Amino acid sequence: MKRYLDYKNTTLDNGLEIVSIKKETDLVCLINAMKIGSLHEEDHERGLAHFIEHMIFKGTEKRDNKMLIDELEETGGEYDAYTDSVSTVISITALKEEFEKSCDILSDMLLNSDFKGEEIEKERKVILSEIKNSYDDIEDYSYRVLKENAFPNNSLKYDVLGTEKSVRGFSREDLLRFYNRYYNASNCKIIIVSPFDHDDVADTIERYYGNWKKGDSRTSRKEVFKNTPGKFETELNDNEQSTIMYLFTFENPTPKEELALRILDYRLGSSSNSVLFKELREKRGLCYSVHSTLGDYEKFNILYIYASVAKCDVEESKEVISFCLDEFLNEKLKFDDKFFNIVKKVYKTEIITTLEGCNDLAHFILAYILDDEDILSFYNDLDILDTLSKEDIYEIAKELFTNSTMSVILGRDEEDGDN
């Protein structure tokens, strides 16, 4: 596989960092990423970053909400926005001839949002509805309860959306204070994947963003994200399904440890040939949905296990999950050359698929930029893969699986649902 990416970093005088990636494509993907997310919020600010993400679409000094949406639609592309733990992201993928128009629209949204009072009240209702919907989604609700139990004393327990109380309490002044302080050129990263020369890309970005003011940035609060071990149960009688979730944490992994974690996740529950899938679904038919997920929070990893089962199968399912974890702890799983060759193929396929796509590549690179990592470091993983052994996987499992937080959401009994 060719290990080359045609990219260039440029930093404007106002501190705005631009990463231009040139590739053969008829598309352009433009990502504006503010380094401000839920982990940067104080307790009285829970949900502010997400609220501002909504408000950025509600109007500027020269475009109202309808004009913004109409002009975004006129580009013929796909636009998106989201807020997570470390960033607020607005992006558009469109035909290459729409690049300048996309810069015009997105820069106006970020630099000139006007936060009209009536729009704030409309969006407040939308976000409150979004919060309520997250409670109705059993998987979202399960993750929320799990994190509240695992991290009772730090900001990871809070949802990006904030709380109903905090969202109801935000004033226009609160939104403007947060926006004016942290939504600035010094706190923004722009990633562009296009067929254009890097200098032309930087010149275009400077025309639209060059007058954006410098400003403050906020680092995540220094917190210890070690989970609180324990077993927790919550009753949810208006839901037919029960869920079982586990959470494990690993701090400051080396590149080799991080890759070992990813391989462990793949073997445990993120593939259709994983241990959890085979034992819970294929062999015993206990559930339809079961998976593991590896999350990365600023050099801090969390491994989640999720299974949705009938209430009558909760205890058996917990025993099966414990059995699967013991398979790692007791070194009973097979990690031979065939397995590592499969993993290499899977990883290479993921990389090539990502590099081929315009939007996927831009978001892939964004993750490295936000973590202040070398853009090309993902190629190094291919070399690390050649050095990994089954002992590395078992060692990381024994360190990871020592202190678990388990959360069970108990739905109603099946007979209750028939009445």
Which tokens belong to 142? 């399960």
User: Do 7-209 and 230-335+389-417 have matching folds?
Assistant: yes
Whole-number pLDDT of residue 223: 66
What is the CATH number assigned to the segment(s) 230-335+389-417? 3.30.830.10
pLDDT band at 171 (very low <50, low <70, confident <90, very high): very high
Whole-number pLDDT of residue 418: 47
Task: Please state the φ and ψ torsions of residue 162, each to the nearest 5 degrees.
Answer: 85, -165
Whole-number pLDDT of residue 419: 43
Whole-number pLDDT of residue 385: 85
pLDDT band at 413 (very low <50, low <70, confident <90, very high): confident
The more confidently predicted of residues 277 and 39 is 277
Whole-number pLDDT of residue 415: 60
Whole-number pLDDT of residue 416: 52
Whole-number pLDDT of residue 213: 94
Of 306, 21, 312, which Cα lies nearest the Cα of 192?
21
pLDDT band at 17 (very low <50, low <70, confident <90, very high): very high
Task: Please state the φ and ψ torsions of residue 31, each to the nearest 5 degrees.
Answer: -115, 130
Domain positions in the chain are 7-209, 230-335+389-417
- Residues 376-399 have pLDDT tens digits of 888 888 888 888 899 999 999 999
| CATH superfamily of this structure's domain 7-209 | Metalloenzyme, LuxS/M16 peptidase-like (3.30.830.10)
Of 290, 336, 344, which Cα lies nearest the Cα of 313?
290
Report the C-alpha gap between 179 and 89 in whole angstroms.
14
Report the C-alpha gap between 322 and 307 in whole angstroms.
13
Whole-number pLDDT of residue 224: 66
pLDDT at 218 exceeding the cut of 80: no
Whole-number pLDDT of residue 272: 87
- Indicate the residue type of 250: F
Report the C-alpha gap between 204 and 184 in whole angstroms.
18
pLDDT at 70 exceeding the cut of 70: yes
Express as a percent the part of the chain with pLDDT over 70: 96
Beta bridge partners of 248: 303
Contact 72, 79 (CB under 8 A): yes
Contact 128, 168 (CB under 8 A): yes
- Residues 292-344 have pLDDT tens digits of 999 887 678 999 999 999 999 999 999 999 999 999 999 999 888 898 889 88
Quick one: three-class SS letters along the chain? CCCCCCEEEEECCCCCEEEEEECCCCEEEEEEEECCCHHHCCHHHCCHHHHHHHHCCCEECCCEHHHHHHHHHHCCCEEEEEECCCCEEEEEEEEHHHHHHHHHHHHHHHHHECCCHHHHHHHHHHHHHHHHHHHHCHHHHHHHHHHHHHCCCCHHHCCCCCCHHHHHHCCHHHHHHHHHHHCCHHHEEEEEEECCCHHHHHHHHHHHHCCCCCCCCCCCCCCCCCCCCEEEEEECCCCCCEEEEEEEEEECCCHHHHHHHHHHHHHHHHCCCCHHHHHHHHHCCCEEEEEEEEEECCCEEEEEEEEEECHHHHHHHHHHHHHHHHHHHCCCCCCCHHHHHHHHHHHHHHHHHHHHCHHHHHHHHHHHHHCCCCCCHHHHHHHHHHHCCHHHHHHHHHHHCCCCEEEEEECCCHHHHCC
pLDDT at 196 exceeding the cut of 90: yes
- Residues 112-166 have pLDDT tens digits of 999 999 999 999 999 999 999 998 899 999 999 999 999 998 888 899 999 999 9
Whole-number pLDDT of residue 399: 94
As a whole number, the mean pLDDT across the chain is 92
- Residues 220-271 have pLDDT tens digits of 666 667 899 999 999 988 888 999 999 999 988 998 999 999 999 999 999 9
For the ranges 1-5, 82-86, 136-140, 366-370, which has the lowest average pLDDT?
1-5
